[in-house]
Each structure stands twice: as structure tokens, then as C-alpha cells.
Amino acid sequence: MQSGLLNIQGGNTYVNLLVAFQLFCAAILVYYLQQVLTCYGVCCSFFSLSIVLSPCKKIFWESLSPVTLDMGRGPEFRGSILCFSHLTMSSGIAHAVQECLFRATQPNLMALISTVIMVMAFTYLKGLRVDIPVTSKEQLGVRGSFTIKLLYSSHGPFLAQVLFCFRQLHLT
């Protein structure tokens, strides 16, 4: 999915129409995906699926993109996993590790590892909770617990302000 700011200064109308058509098809595809997921029992709304889409696309492209870039050292892949495997096969594992972890110009493996670590941290935070022991006034000896989670409130308003203040346009 690609969002494009229509190049007002120089593009012709056919390119702009194509971009608009691409966005339209992307929205249709997301709708179909949501219908398929509903058939399998996963109830997610179209809106939340569209929000999940943007980081998923970035992760996918930054790790597996086959676009090559030539900067004087021969063609290197833009995707980090592909670049790692390519360099391992061509010049040995030590150089590949040192190159792929700390590449400055292109997405590197450090970003992928940090994403995984951050997902684990978020999952850990979601499980933090406090139990209040409660008993029933009607029946004696019944003991239960009422949980209060750390991430107690929902984040609808946060989403609203993100959409209002932090959406970006991209030039084609």
C-alpha cells in the first residue's frame, strides 16, 4: 500500500489517477481481508485492521525487500534479512554480521531485533495485574478475585489525537 501526495508541480494526470486507483484497490483488499478473518472467527474491525497495516507493511518491506542499491561496493539488498543471507554466502559470516547489524543507510537487523524485543515487552506489560480478593456476602467461604490490569483504560482518545496530529503525506 502506498500513499502518495500528488505531485502538483510536474506530474501528469494519468500517474495521479493510477495512484488513486491503487489506494482504492488497497482499501478493497483490506475489506476482503477483514471479511475472511470474520469467517474464521476473529472479529476485528476494518478500522483497526487499517491501523495494523502500516507498521506490518514497513516491517515486511524493510526485512524482505529485493530492491538492490549500488553504492560502489556492488549491489546490496535493501531488505535486511536478504542482505544478511546474501553477504553470508558471498563474503563470510563475520563481515556479514558486522555489516548488517549497523548499516546506516539502509534498514538493518538491529531494527528487527528491537521490534521483537519491544513486542515482548508490551506482552509482558499487558499481563501485569493486581488481584483483589473478594468474598460473597450471601455464601460463606466462597473466595474469588477481581483483577485490575495495569493497562486499564482503552486508548480510543489517544488514537484520535494520533490521527489528528501525526499523519504524514508522502511525495510520489
Partner 1 sequence: MKALSQGWYVFDPKTTNILYRLLGVWKQDEENPNELIAISGLCYWLTPPTWNTISDNQWQAAVYIGYILAICVITSHTSVHEGEKEHSPESVADDLLGPTYLTLAGKHEDSDKALRKEVCRLVSAATILGALAMGIICVICDIFEITGGGQSMLLAMESVHDTYDAWYNEQYELRKSRIENSLWETQSRD
| C-alpha cell of residue 140 | 460463606
130 is a site residue for partner 1 (CB under 8 A): yes
161 is a site residue for partner 1 (CB under 8 A): yes
Within positions 7 to 36, which residues make up the interface with partner 1, using CB under 8 A? 8
CA angle 5–165–4, rounded 5-degree value: 10
Using DSSP, state whether 12 is helix, strand or coil. Answer: coil
Q: What's the rounded Cα separation, in Å, for the pair 39 and 33?
A: 10
Residue type, 133: P
172 is a site residue for partner 1 (CB under 8 A): yes
Q: How many residues bind partner 1 (CB under 8 A)?
A: 63
Complex with partner 1: residue 36 or 119, whichever CB lies closer: 119
Complex with partner 1: residue 91 or 114, whichever CB lies closer: 114
151 is a site residue for partner 1 (CB under 8 A): yes
Q: What's the rounded Cα separation, in Å, for the pair 51 and 54?
A: 6
Candidate list 39, 72, 137, 140; residue touching partner 1; CB under 8 A: 137
User: Minimum distance between the CB of residue 5 and partner 1, rounded to whole angstroms?
Assistant: 6
39 is a site residue for partner 1 (CB under 8 A): no
Using DSSP, state whether 52 is helix, strand or coil. Answer: helix
User: Minimum distance between the CB of residue 155 and partner 1, rounded to whole angstroms?
Assistant: 6
Task: Give the β-pairing of 75-77 and 68-70.
Answer: antiparallel
Q: What's the rounded Cα separation, in Å, for the pair 112 and 105?
A: 15
28 Cβ partners below 8 Å, 6+ apart?
none
Footprint of partner 1 (CB under 8 A) = 5, 8, 41-44, 48-49, 51-52, 54-56, 58-59, 62, 105, 107, 111-112, 114-115, 118-119, 121-123, 125-126, 130, 132-138, 143-144, 146, 148-159, 161-162, 164-172
